[in-house]
Structure 1
Amino acid sequence: MRKVGPYGVETLPEVLVDVPAAPAGCRGALVERARLHWRLADGGDPAALAEEFLAAHGLPLHDLTRPAPDHHDTDTRLCGAALYLSAAAGALLAGAPPAAPEPAPALPDLAVVVYDHRPTRTPTGGPPTPWWLGEWTESWTPDQHADAVDAVRAAIGRGDVYQTNLVGHAAARYTGDPLPALSRLGALPGARYGGVLTGDGWAIGCASPETLIEVHNGTLTTRPIKGTRPATPAGRAELLASAKERAEHIMIVDLERNDLARIARNGTVAVDDLFAVRRWCDLWQAESTVHASAADGLGLADLLRATCPGGSVTGAPKRAALTQITRLEPVGRGASMGALGWVAPGRIDLGLTIRTAAADGEKLHTWAGGGITWDSDAHAEVAEAAAKTAPIRATLAGR
């Protein structure tokens, strides 16, 4: 059932508000005004629902090219809102078939939380509770993961797709308060979208380096990441020299150019910093920047429909890749491979929820994967996914 209204966290303790991409001066000084939760079973269009809910609470995002209004009164200032959209909700917007059952069904598929900005910061809670994290249980074995890679390669050979991103899931039981563990993710090196979002009986912690979509002063920006190597001098040189990684990357850059062209002024889509190498924890990753001028009258709903789910975690063509994902992945993507960040008039900044973990009342959940092309080696793809999730699991465990 859809839930609307302000309320506190019941199953999980409260945490200082630290939403990914929230203004730095506001973190820890935000007070919840209203919230919306929506799940796929509720039916309807989550993009339209988010836009309508925000407008009803003083955040009109019907035209992202307009100057931001000044929201202010004597006691409190409307600051902005956290927005989370799951990968499953994004697939719905793209017209993809339903995915496998979710491993953490307590999480909503859409969460919108509107905040006031107080001049004084919220005090922190009491002493931390003892923390224990159990062993991780994978949703598929390395051999099953490798078989899925080979199935994608076969689909590429048939001409069904050019590239498909495969994602695996793992869960571990815990005792204690998971919020400090999830909050630690935001301190990982390269976590551009570090932060936490919580609700009744669930929490999401993010360490994502990837921009799904940013809107500022009428400019649309996305920063797709594709291509990974260990963060060593040899790894950097290997990444830059890899024809396979560059081809995989450029496929997704072209997909993102097409996504932005649907909502941009004609002739304004451009690419900067093609295949620039950035560092996240102990990995090098290749990133490009695609930008465009927003079309007149572009609203939040159409922005989400055009960009979700992100091309770098689906594949090309996007809908065909989503069909492959539905057939091959044994569980849903949960909090991962979706969108999470901050929205306000004049500024939208949503990260792609890679390098992301979630807690329900009993377990922590993580997801990791990679893009599969014709040149992919199945065992190398399994190893790459493990390398991406290792810093997340170590941080959650407190190491």
Structure 2
Amino acid sequence: MVHGKSTERMSTNRPDVVEALPQMVVDPPAVPTTCRGRLTERARWQWRPTDGGDPAAQAEEFLTAHGLHLHDLARPAPTHDPDGVCGAALYVSATAGTLMAGGTPGPPSPADLPDLAVVIYAHTDTPPPTPPTAGWWRGPWTESWTPHQHATAVEAVRHAIGHGEVYQVNLVGHAAAPYAGDPLPALARLGRLPGARYGGVLTGPGWAIGCASPETLIEVRDGTLTTRPIKGTRPATTAGRTDLLTSAKERAEHIMIVDLERNDLARIAATGSVRVDDLFAVRRWCDLWQAESTVRADIADGLGLADLLRAVCPGGSVTGAPKLAALHHIAALEPVGRGASMGGLGWVSPGHIDLGLTIRTAAVDRESVHVWAGGGITWDSDPEAEVAEAAAKTGPVRAALR
């Protein structure tokens, strides 16, 4: 509860509070450890579908114009300049990824955010101070669909699978809540959840994204492409781990997505180099067990950032198989757009690209805080179990945003 003068300030989202978001200490996901805490924004570019053009190509051109040459990722990385441009945060929404893949975009996003953002950072010895916070109040959540509507969508996917239209479709639900005050400490708290390989916050004028993702969408380092799809979830108990390891349904669903990711990498890899280094490894995120695999390949000569994004976005573990057919059903069944979730967020530089898949992610615009969660649907899916799994995944995210 807020008392005294703070109540007056938090009663509405005043423009000075929202517009202060970009002034926070820089902490986007996957920033090189040696550069964390000593970065300052140099330039930014944002894109929405109404802007037109090819967002992947435009992002690569913007980076090139600021000295970050990512048109041939197979080339040896230049020496990191401690006094110059360090790299850039890159955010790609699920909608932008769908358009890059040639898929059908779904309903509009409920969150007022750009669909692609590139923020160039340089080194500094005097990072901007964090502005004083205004406290934080979050109202009750409003769900984008009821449990019954979610279960009905699961049945619709099973029907499509039965007719041979798809093998698997990932369904995602959304919830929003009003807020007042400064959301950044809550988003930063989200980014510090245990197992958040891509923990951090990216801000823009009137918006911010907080990420606690454990999943690698794509990493490029030393000539190697790596993706780590996660598919399969159970409570983090001894029984839950045993159940996940012995579930034929979860293993089949997981291997299907691994095959999809192998196919995605094969489009941009040296011929015959795609391999699975770790299959169905069970790891912990907060109070959940999750199954993760590691797929790697040698990078093809001449591969640029734009073609890399077109090949891997949106991620297979949050779409389904075949990917374009799954995207068609997602667009028809989900009541609202995926916004900041199920996209990519991380760091790009000539020698280091590391993008996390924006699961376990929240976003704020000028009015609301937004969260998303879902799961992969196969023929063996039980609607009630799928609804419960989505609730389990969003639980730690919502708890961090109290």
- Normalised by the length of structure 1, the TM-score is 0.95
User: Who is 1:300 aligned against?
Assistant: 305
% identical equivalent positions: 76
Query: What is the alpha-carbon distance in structure 1 between the residues aligned to residue 20 and residue 131 of structure 2?
Result: 16
Match of 1:90 in 2: 97
Structure 1 residue 107 corresponds to structure 2 residue 113: yes
Size of the aligned set, in residue pairs, is 386
Give distance in 1, aligned partners of 2:299 and 2:324. Answer: 24
**Residue 130 (structure 2) pairs with residue 124 (structure 1):** yes
1:378 is aligned to 383
The Cα shift of 1:125 comes to: 3.0
Cα deviation digits, residues 119-159 of structure 1 (max 9, x gap): 34443333x32211111000000000000000000000000
Change (3 A) 1:77 1:9: farther
How far apart, CA to CA, are the structure 2 residues paired with 1:271 and 1:109?
Answer: 31
- 1:1-399 matches, within 5 Å, as 10=19, 12=21, 14-70=23-79, 72=81, 76-104=83-111, 106-126=112-132, 128-397=133-402
* Greater alpha carbon shift after TM alignment, 180-189 vs 158-167: 180-189
In structure 2, what is the Cα distance between the partners aligned to 1:20 and 1:393? Answer: 19
AA aligned to 1:62 is H
Long gaps (5+) in structure 1: 1-7
3-state SS of 2:189 partner: helix
Superposed displacement of residue 91, structure 1: 0.3
CA distance in 1, matches of 2:255, 2:201: 31
Distance 2:107 2:352 in 1: 34
Query: Hey, what's the Cα distance between the residues in 2 that align with 1:253 and 1:291?
Result: 11
Letter of the 2:222 partner, please give it: N
Cα deviation 1:254-312 (Å, max 9, x = unaligned): 00000000000011000011000010000000000000000000010000000000000
**In 2, Cα distance between equivalents of 1:360 and 1:124:** 19
Contact 1:165 1:312 in 2 (8 A): yes
CA contact (8 A) 1:19 1:27 kept: no
Change (3 A) 1:232 1:71: closer
1:82/1:343 contact within 8 Å kept: yes
Shift in Å at residue 101 of structure 1? 1.4
Once residues 230 and 96 of structure 1 are traced to their aligned partners in structure 2, the CA distance between those partners, rounded to angstroms, is 34
Letter of the 2:331 counterpart: T
Q: Is the 8 A contact 2:24 2:128 kept in 1?
A: no
Q: CA RMSD in A?
A: 1.3
Q: Give how far 1:11 is off.
A: 5.9
Query: For 1:310-350, what per-residue CA distance to the aligned partner results, in whole angstroms no more than 9, with x for missing partners?
Result: 00000000000000000000000000000000000111000
Structure 2: 5+ residue runs without aligned partners?
1-16
Following TM superposition, by how much is the alpha carbon of 1:71 offset from its aligned partner in structure 2, in angstroms? 5.5
Tell me the distance in 2 between the aligned counterparts of 1:159 and 1:166.
Answer: 18
- Aligned partners of 2:199 and 2:152: how far apart in 1? 33
**Preserved CA contact (<8 Å) 1:65 1:346:** no
In structure 2, distance between residues paired with 1:12 and 1:266: 45
Output the CA distance in 2 between the equivalents of 1:342 and 1:295.
21
Distance in 2 (alpha carbons) for counterparts of 1:180 and 1:71: 31
User: For 1:160-206, what per-residue CA distance to the aligned partner results, in whole angstroms no more than 9, with x for missing partners?
Assistant: 00000000000000111001111111110100000000001000000
C-alpha distance in 1, partners of 2:328/2:231?
A: 21
Letter of the 1:226 counterpart: K
Partner SS, residue 25 of structure 1? helix
- 1:257 alignment partner, SS class: helix
> How far does residue 9 in structure 1 lie from its aligned partner after superposition?
7.1
- Give the superposition deviation at 1:70: 3.0
Residue type of the partner of 1:95?
G
Whole-angstrom CA distance in 1 between matches of 2:273 and 2:22: 46
State whether residues 11 and 361 of structure 1, in contact with CA within 8 Å, keep that contact through their aligned partners in structure 2.
no
User: Aligned partner of 1:87: which letter?
Assistant: A
Report the residue type matching 1:109 in the other structure. Answer: D
Distance of aligned partners of 1:12 and 1:347 in 2 relative to their CA distance in 1, 3 Å threshold: closer
Deviation at 1:97, TM superposition (A): 1.5
Residues 1:225 and 1:71: Cα distance change in structure 2 (over 3 Å): closer
